[in-house]
A and B are shown apart, each in its own frame.
Chain A
Amino acid sequence: MSQITEDDRLLIEAAQADPARFVDVYERYVDRVYVFVSRRAENRAVAEDITSQVFARALAGIGQFEWRGLPVAAWLFRIASNTLADHWRERSREAHDAPPDVPDAGELENIERRLTLYQHVERLPDLQRQVIRMRFVEEKSIREVAAALERSEGAVKQLQLRALENLRKSMGGHG
């Protein structure tokens, strides 16, 4: 943890001296923030929109950030929590919606698990990865995927099954 916080300190100081360096903060934490937000957003577009707002707010507030030794992730999760609460208020969902809690140890572990899963997707054989993207990201039906890949629906279902089984094996005890 001490190494992480020291790296964080250097990242923040560099970004405070030169806003262009804030991109380094983004690169390090965007995946975690996205995973945190996506569990609470109603769909992918909203999750992406809110993640974008989190980093815009963080950039705007970088000058006022005071180093207190807490991980930068905790600061970003707090901004994400407030941004989600603003989103819910704007959506007029329920007046008593309070900001979600920043992740506890259990959720942090869950976030890391999902990041690992996403990394494993990138390592899947090309066809299996394409099926995953089309089914989950583009939300295509099996028929549409089959047409796009010029394969039978049965073959695509088998590719889908193999992809999920590969991911389960790759995740090992984390699945």
Chain B
Amino acid sequence: MAERDLADRLDETIDAIVARSDATAALRDRDLAALARIAADLRHYPRPDFKSRLRAQLEWRTNMTAASTMTTGASATAIREGFTTVTPYIRVAAAGLVDFLVQVFDAQETFSGRGGGGGMHREVRVADSMIMVGEGEAAGGGGVMPVSPVAFHVFVKDVDATFTRALAAGAASLGEPADRPYGERSGFVADPFGNHWYIATPRPRGEAEVARGPESVASALRTVTPFLHATGAAEYDEFLQRALGAVEEMRRDEGGQLRYARLRIGDGAVELGEGEPMPGSFLLYVADPDAMYQQALAAGATSIMPVTDQPYGRIGGVADPLGNRWFFSRPIQG
């Protein structure tokens, strides 16, 4: 009976330790104190796959270090000036999205021209991030980049003001600005074309919130970061690592299921969360598009554009199992 009581008392102590609440009473319990100390040390017991994931990240980094050493920066020049490795390409059926981005996020248009398919190809900068916009169903490769709303995480100085501007510009609210437990004040909107914008401002958190979970990821991200939704996010996370060499930098599981991950791809990043997919198109500037294309196919992607030389550079593309489309490009240099 005493044994059973001890099991119950230990369990209550472990509940308190895991919940980061006060478990010091256990230290005054003669039978329990030594076990409680062991339990406290187990609170940070690492996840079984922790070391292997970090090692994989490190191997990727060492490969990049070796490559940049050998090519004296050739990999860096594969990216167009002002861009990062990952650039979202939003396809919309009609004009208007660029105006929305200018009005809401103070975007600056850096390029506008007729695309290969007859529609308009436009590029805008939002603070330190670039977004490409294709206007017209048939622009820039017909069905290769179909019209399909995508989602973004956007950091701004004042989420409430930006949220108000978004509604004034025709967006629909998906969630009023509120303080979130992950260290952000954020509000969510759908623009007139159906794209989702998770608008956020980092905020300091109280100790209780700090204890409950990870902080805002703002410090690790640029202003605009694609947010990928996936059904079966854990499996998709692994696919991105295999197909694109993505490096998982942060991960949050709940109930044994991946809820959120931050993945770095070169010097760009995407975020990933469990949810109904909103497949989009993404341009990846890489040193060797042929190798990336083959790597993605080997990981289970399907070809939508074999790698070829184009007037603007060498490019090929694949579709992944969720319908996201990834284009690997090495622009013409000089």
Residues of A within 8 A of B (CB): 18-20, 22-23, 26-27, 30-31, 34-35, 38-39, 42-49, 51-52, 55-56, 59-60, 90-93, 113-114, 117-118, 121, 132-133, 135-142, 144, 154, 157-158, 160-161, 164-165, 167-168, 171, 175
CB contacts (< 8 Å) of B18 on chain A: these are: 135-136, 139
Beyond A42-B210, A49-B250, A56-B58, 11 additional contacts (C-beta under 8 Å) are A43-B211, A55-B58, A92-B202, A93-B210, A117-B38, A117-B42, A136-B18, A136-B43, A158-B7, A164-B10, A175-B37
Whole-angstrom distance from the CB of B10 to the nearest CB of chain A?
A: 6
B106, CB-defined interface residue at 8 Å: no
Contact B14 A160 (CB under 8 A): yes
Contact B35 A118 (CB under 8 A): no
**Total count of chain B residues near the partner, CB < 8 A:** 53
Contact A90 B58 (CB under 8 A): no
Residues of B within 8 A of A (CB): 3-4, 6-8, 10-11, 14-15, 18, 34-35, 37-39, 41-48, 50-51, 54-55, 57-59, 61-63, 65-66, 69, 183, 202, 204-205, 210-211, 213-215, 219, 249-253, 255-256
Given that A23-B59, A56-B58 are contacting pairs, would A45 and B45 also be in contact in the complex, using a CB cutoff of 8 Å?
Answer: no
Given that A121-B45, A135-B18, A157-B7 are contacting pairs, would A49 and B249 also be in contact in the complex, using a CB cutoff of 8 Å?
Answer: yes
Contact B34 A38 (CB under 8 A): no
CB contacts (< 8 Å) of A164 on chain B: these are: 10, 35, 38-39
Whole-angstrom distance from the CB of A37 to the nearest CB of chain B?
A: 9
Q: Which of A30, A114, A137, A175 has the most CB of B within 10 A?
A: A137
Closest chain B residue to A48, Cβ basis: B50
Contact A56 B55 (CB under 8 A): no
> Looking at the complex, which one of A48, A91, A165 makes contact with B54 (CB distance below 8 Å)?
A48
A2 to B7 CA separation, bound complex (whole angstroms): 46
CB contacts (< 8 Å) of A161 on chain B: these are: 3, 6-7, 10, 35
**Which 5 residue pairs of A and B lie closest in terms of their CB atoms, listed nearest first?**
A38-B44, A157-B7, A90-B219, A19-B65, A161-B7
> Looking at the complex, which one of B63, B69, B205 makes contact with A91 (CB distance below 8 Å)?
B205
Closest chain A residue to B209, Cβ basis: A42
Contact A56 B61 (CB under 8 A): yes
Contact B7 A34 (CB under 8 A): no
A26 to B36 CA separation, bound complex (whole angstroms): 31
Contact B211 A91 (CB under 8 A): no
